[in-house]
Amino acid sequence: MELKLDTIEAITESIRQILQSECKEALRIIETKSEVDPHETVHEIRKHFKKIRAVLRLVRDTTDRYQEENQFFRDEARTISEVRDAEAMLEAVGLIEKQFEDKLYKDAFSDSRKLLLAYRDDLAKKVLQDNRMLKKIRKNTSEKCEALSVLPMDIDSHESISPGLKRTYKRGRKAFWEAAESRSPDAFHEWRKRVKYLRYQMLTIAPIWPEVLRTWEDELHRLSDALGTDRDLYMLNKFLEQTEDHPYAEVDGNPYLLSTLIEGHRQQLQEYALLLGKKLYHYKPSTLISWIETLWEAQLAVHKEFPLPLDTLED
């Protein structure tokens, strides 16, 4: 998922290749994994669609097809989002059990786990319909893969991509401050979405200075994971609040213990995320983009002026 930087034509073609590659990988996962592990398949599909949407945002000012393509992948992912959320809540229970295993009785939250398993499996049966939904997504997406390979784009310099990156960073920065001030679940969730887009965009342009931008991407990955876990735990707590009226199973003998541990862990995750955010969203958007453009110009010059492998220049 990286650009080729030699020429403008290479940049344009590699954008198309990245989009098509992510699209085809989603299809491959449906073909090879859907029957064996539909929940992992759902997770992987959504991840690849998110990457596609991040790259589309990077070049949104160079193509008149942005709205159409972005909406398609957004809507396809939404059809299976509930199934992924249910699986994520199960994973969140496992996280709490592991975090506090030396302080808990064995199988302390077995009732909650059974409840979530029954809910997840019932939901998957309704939404996936014995994988018919995944096959429908595969059919719809296969047509899009070919369209992405010839996506019309008007890229005349590396600066054509700057507005998309700037917009992503600016919106993420705003979401960071809103999360820091409000501490609301929705604000943290909105910030997480912006972080993911920036992460995948940084990964895409990483070749302009791999050692630095891949480190940025790594840190954005850490931040995204922290915010994602916080969201999963929040949804889990909301789910547990409704268990008294739930048709699937009995609740744990002490549901308040799990809820208390969840809230304590969420607080730690949020503080960690805000500290990472303070580092990553410190710059003004114009400052960041100016820096990125300087890196890009320097890297293009390296390609032109040093045709020999750079390791031949070392002592």
**pLDDT digit string (tens) for the chain, length 315 residues:** 677 766 777 889 999 999 999 999 999 999 998 888 999 999 999 999 999 999 999 999 999 999 999 999 999 999 999 999 999 999 999 999 888 888 888 778 888 888 899 999 999 999 998 889 999 999 999 989 989 999 999 988 888 899 999 999 999 999 999 999 999 999 999 999 999 999 999 999 999 899 999 999 999 999 999 999 999 999 999 998 876 655 444 444 556 788 889 999 999 999 999 999 999 999 999 999 999 999 988 887 776 665 555 555 455
Q: What pLDDT, on the 0 to 100 scale, is given for residue 249?
A: 42
Q: What is the pLDDT of residue 224?
A: 98
| 3 lies in some domain | no
Give dist(CA 249, CA 243) in Å, integer: 8
What range does the domain containing 26 cover?
8-303
Q: What pLDDT, on a 0 to 100 scale, did the predictor assign at position 250?
A: 47
Return the CATH number at 121: 1.40.20.10
What is the structure's pLDDT at 255?
62
User: Which among 141, 128, 142 is positioned nearest to 40, based on CA atoms?
Assistant: 128
Domain count of the chain? 1
In a domain, 25, yes or no: yes
Does residue 314 sit within a domain?
no
Asked if residue 252 belongs to a domain, the reply is yes
pTM: 0.91
Q: Is residue 315 situated within a structural domain?
A: no
Nearest to 83 by CA among 29, 51, 42: 42
Question: Is residue 233 situated within a structural domain?
Answer: yes
Residue 204 CB partners (closer than 8 Å, separation 6+) = 1, 2, 3, 18, 54, 55, 58
Crossing angle for the helix pair 38-58 and 185-205, to the nearest 10 degrees: 70
* Residue appearing with tokens 């995750």: 269
Integer-rounded Cα Rg, in Å, for the chain is 22
CA distance 185 to 47: 21
3-state secondary structure of 198: helix
